[in-house]
Amino acid sequence: MNRRSAALALGGILLAAAAGAEDFRWQGRIADGRALEIKGVNGDIDATLAPGAEAEVVAVKRAKRSDPASVEIKVVEHAGGVTICAVYPGRIGRRNECAAGDGGHMNVDDNDVEVRFTVRVPKGVRFLARTVNGGIQAEGLASPVDAETVNGDVRLGADGAARAQTVNGSIRASLKRASGTEPLEFETVNGSIELELPGNVDADLQAETVNGDIDSDFPLESRSREHHPPHTARGRLGAGGRTLKLETVNGSIEVRKVG
């Protein structure tokens, strides 16, 4: 029989349900401007826009040899929103911990459980996604997005602020609206960066790659000589102001104008 628990927090009812030993579901309301944060280690994170005001998180655990039940899905409610983590068994003498932002601690010792998160994010709720071995897809959202992985591609569509970082993977991002003052940052090492921006964006663009080209639909004020890496480009988009930073080592950079 499935177990269901409920707690009152952040002005709404939060529901966490374990569907058997391998699956997990959480539903709840999060106030506008607060964050829904997902922290994984092994596995993809896939987020889309919620149809209403309630957020939903589903986690599916799979493994070839390790016990899926050894990985717990924990929910931490805090002043800034809700953080949900895949918590693996810790090393002897040091427990793994789920905490918001830079807090917490996570090690994976010879555990091959993959946890795939499927998330529905309401309009106005910031979405934060963190994993190590897995891709992040967060497209069609009506709020800011911050996505970070190590081994995997990042695909995001956001409204307002956006940040994406990976090491071994490409980044493709599309911003519906780019108003605000928060920096827009996209960074990888081994992969390309493709960014779509509205034509009325105001930002100061800084782009750099070592082994790749830079191509922009927006006018660039300065560009390094192509045969002297790193290749850099700078340009004031619209009235300028906020920082727009794009960096890779092995890959090209493309900035496209839409709308």
Domain span holding position 240: 160-259
Entry pTM: 0.88
Cα–Cα distance for residue pair 168/150, rounded to 1 Å = 6
Q: Tell which residue, 219, 201, 204, 211, has the closest CA to residue 253.
A: 211
Instruction: Assess if residue 133 is contained within a domain.
Output: no
CA distance linking residue 242 with residue 130, whole number of Å: 24
CA distances 70 to 13, 51, 63, 113, 253, Å, are: 27, 33, 11, 8, 41
One domain, residues 4 and 118: yes
Domain limit, last residue, from 97, 124, 151: 124
Based on the fold, state whether residues 244 and 182 are members of the same structural domain: yes
Question: Does 217 reside within a domain?
Answer: yes
For residue 15, being part of any structural domain is answered with yes
Task: Check: CB of residue 212 under 8 Å from CB of residue 251.
Answer: yes
Contact status, residue 134 vs residue 148, Cβ threshold 8 Å: no
Tell me, what's the pLDDT at 13?
42
User: Given 124, 142, 177, which residue is the final one in a domain?
Assistant: 124
Q: Specify if 152 maps to a domain.
A: no
Query: Does 138 fall in a domain?
Result: no
Number of domains the chain contains: 2
End-to-end CA distance of the chain: 51
Over its length of 259 residues, how does the chain's per-residue pLDDT go in tens digits?
Answer: 333 333 333 434 444 443 334 589 999 999 999 999 999 999 999 999 999 999 999 999 999 999 999 899 999 999 999 999 999 987 665 688 898 988 887 777 788 899 999 999 999 999 999 999 999 999 999 999 999 999 999 999 988 789 999 999 999 999 887 667 788 999 999 999 999 999 888 999 999 999 999 999 998 887 765 556 678 999 999 998 889 999 999 999 999 998 7
Domain shared by 1 and 117, yes or no: yes
Q: What percent of the chain has pLDDT over 90?
A: 66
Instruction: Give me the pLDDT at residue 126, please.
Output: 96
Residue 132 lies in a domain: no
249 and 164 fall within a common domain: yes
Residues 82 and 177 in one domain: no
